[in-house]
């Protein structure tokens, strides 16, 4: 029954993608990750896996929805929109303001002369939250992929995230009212680089068009984020995240 169901699902996915002209990977998995950027605690979350292309439009779990308005000689650039996870302030964060889920809207530039490596930069604005929760943010990074034999593909990435003072204050700051309610020392966060993230991923073939994906990331907070009273009292400057997913590849 399982094999029949998988075969039927694969057929439907493939036919739908071919009809729409879509290529890439789609799947589902789970992630064990920090509850919020301060690393106050960890939790397990279901996550979709997306890495799809439709002409010059792409949709991925990491980069969101992008449109390569400029696409020449390995250089691409254009607008993007992505999901920005908020924060429920419970547990040890009780008394801090909640942060609503938001959208991140901005532009990107990327240089990828081959499929297996790229360098890129993004700059955007958080929208959809309160006025004090809608600052500027972005990242610069690179990614390198390589075959390991037996159909296994590895990928290593290094990314530096930055934000302005308002966006950093959203997750790392503590105003006077919050300090009185929580016992955290009042803290005004400043802009700059927030963290450096090193990631390592592997793709293992399972069957034709099906793969097992695994990923592990190390996040090191820097600057104003690392000096936050929340991080010092209940969070962690060094954080980790692991993910695994099953994906289907559209030929």
Helices and strands in the chain, H and E counts: 5, 13
Give the residue carrying structure tokens 């690392």.
Answer: 226
Give the residue carrying structure tokens 């060094």.
Answer: 238
Longest dimension (CA), the chain: 60
Euclidean distance between CA atoms 117 and 126, whole angstroms: 28
CATH architecture of 23-250: Beta Barrel (2.40)
Helix (H, G, I), strand (E, B) or coil at 74: coil
**Predicted TM-score (pTM) of this structure:** 0.88
Q: C-alpha distances in angstroms, 227 versus 137, 163, 230, 231?
A: 18, 15, 9, 7
pLDDT in tens, the chain (251 residues): 334 344 444 444 444 555 457 889 999 999 999 999 999 999 999 999 999 999 899 999 989 999 999 999 999 999 999 999 999 999 999 999 999 999 999 999 999 998 889 999 999 999 987 667 789 999 999 999 999 999 999 999 999 999 999 999 999 999 999 999 999 999 999 999 999 999 999 999 999 999 999 999 999 999 999 999 999 999 999 999 999 999 999 87
């Amino acid at each position: 029954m399982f094999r029949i169901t998988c075969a039927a699902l694969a057929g439907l996915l493939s036919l739908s993608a071919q009809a729409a002209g879509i290529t890439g990977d789609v799947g589902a998995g789970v992630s064990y990750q920090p509850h919020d950027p301060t690393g106050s605690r960890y939790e397990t979350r279901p996550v979709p896996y997306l890495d799809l292309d439709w002409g010059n439009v792409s949709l991925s779990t990491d980069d969101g929805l992008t449109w390569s308005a400029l696409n020449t000689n390995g250089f691409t650039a254009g607008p993007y929109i992505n999901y920005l996870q908020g924060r429920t302030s419970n547990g040890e964060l009780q008394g801090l303001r909640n942060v609503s889920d938001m959208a991140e809207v901005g532009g990107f530039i990327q240089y990828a002369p081959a499929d297996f490596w790229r360098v890129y930069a993004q700059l955007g604005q958080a929208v959809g939250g309160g006025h004090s929760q809608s600052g500027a943010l972005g990242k610069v990074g690179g990614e390198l992929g390589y075959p390991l034999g037996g159909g296994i593909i590895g990928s290593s990435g290094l990314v530096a995230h930055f934000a302005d003072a308002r966006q950093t204050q959203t997750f790392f700051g503590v105003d006077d009212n919050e300090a009185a309610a929580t016992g955290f020392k009042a803290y005004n966060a400043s802009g700059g680089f927030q963290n450096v993230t090193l990631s390592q991923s592997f793709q293992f073939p399972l069957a034709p068009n099906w793969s097992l994906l695994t990923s592990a990331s190390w996040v090191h907070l820097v600057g104003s984020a690392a000096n936050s009273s929340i991080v010092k009292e209940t969070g962690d400057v060094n954080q980790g995240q692991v993910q695994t997913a099953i994906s289907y590849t559209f030929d």
